[in-house]
Amino acid sequence: MGGILRADAKARIAQENPTPTTQEFFEGTPYEQDKVWTRSSRAILQVILVVSYIFVALSYTLTVAVTTL
């Protein structure tokens, strides 16, 4: 799960030659999420993912319940 890149991470990615992908940059930061993405963007993404999962699970459950009647 990513999010919005921090300003210093975005600048460092732009400076390096050849330009690394976000994943390659993340590998170089001992996998510390706070050095790559902002906490607020990760939190928003987590909420969206949880709500999406609940929606899909409920939709599937309702579909199965209705079709078995």
Residue-wise pLDDT for 8-20, tens only, equals 888 888 887 787 8
Asked whether residue 2 is domain-assigned, the answer is no
For the segment 21-34, the average pLDDT, to the nearest whole number, is 80
How sure is the predictor about 1, in pLDDT bands with cuts at 50, 70 and 90?
A: low
Residue 24 within a domain: yes
Most confident range (mean pLDDT) of 2-11, 13-22, 57-66 is 57-66
pLDDT at 67 over 80: yes
In-domain check, residue 46: yes
Domain that holds residue 53: 7-67
Query: Is residue 1 assigned to a domain?
Result: no
CB burial class (10 A; 0-12, 13-18, 19+) of residue 36? Answer: buried
Full-model pTM: 0.66
Q: Which residues contact 22 (CB under 8 A, 6 or more apart)?
A: 2, 5, 13, 36
Decide if pLDDT at 2 tops 90: no
